[in-house]
Amino acid sequence: MSLEIDEEEHSFEMHAPYIYKLTQFLPQGIPKIVPIMISHSSESFNIEICDILSQYFRDESNTFVISSDFCHWGSRFGYTKYTPTGSLDDLISLGISNELNNSSNSLKVYKSIEVLDKSAMKIASTGSSKKWKDYIKTTGNTICGQKPIELLLRIIEKVREDDDDHSKDWGTFKWIGYSQSSKPITFSDSSVSYASAFAVV
């Protein structure tokens, strides 16, 4: 990546103080950390990195942390998908011309965003990287860590297939939190969503 992209990326800088705080008094000390930034990549790269990382995933002394916001919604993010009914089948892009069509019978914008995000959470919990990829393609949801989440799902699938001694629920995400930075109700409003999950393997 370019120096400019590297300087603008802040996820590791946000996590490092928490990791330090939680681990500074452990008998084994602060853990070694290997930050990996993944964005757009080819299928061959995904297969190769999945093969490499799955070896470390099998080692119980390792922990994988994926950092990602969920939906970045609003015209300033270039994403205004909206479902008036709560179904992903009727997604439209809100614009100035139709923002007042949000009648009392329709979902509020922030509730529509929640439908988008909770659908993503449900799909991630299936453990299927293909369903996750299809969801992103269908909705365009602006989940900034969508590629690393897909990669983690692929790694879990690979280990489950290769080892053949894991239950169907092994490695599935358990969601423990969801919130939005604000509650948008019009096209001109904006919000970023946050979701937290863990999986024990």
Q: Is residue 75 part of a domain?
A: yes
The two tokens of residue 53 are 């990382």
User: In this structure, are strands 191-198 and 174-180 parallel, antiparallel, or unpaired?
Assistant: antiparallel
Contact 80, 93 (CB under 8 A): yes
Q: Is residue 29 part of a domain?
A: no
Strand, coil or helix: 60:
coil
Q: Is residue 131 part of a domain?
A: yes
Closest by CA position to 189, among listed 83, 121, 113:
113
How far from chain centre, in Å, is Cα 114? Answer: 14
C-alpha span between 123 and 126 (Å, rounded): 5
The two tokens of residue 89 are 């089948």
Count up the domains in the chain and report the number. 1
Q: Is residue 1 part of a domain?
A: no
Q: Is residue 184 part of a domain?
A: yes
Per-position pLDDT tens, the chain of length 201: 788 887 887 888 888 898 899 898 989 888 888 988 887 778 899 899 999 999 999 998 898 988 899 999 999 999 999 999 999 998 988 876 555 455 566 889 999 999 999 999 999 999 999 999 999 999 999 999 999 999 999 999 999 888 777 777 788 899 999 999 999 988 889 999 999 999 888
CATH of the domain at 73: 3.40.830.10
Domain of residue 94: give its range: 36-198
Q: Is residue 26 part of a domain?
A: no
Contact 153, 168 (CB under 8 A): no
For 18, phi and psi rounded to 5 degrees?
-70, -45
Strand, coil or helix: 117:
helix
The two tokens of residue 151 are 């990669």
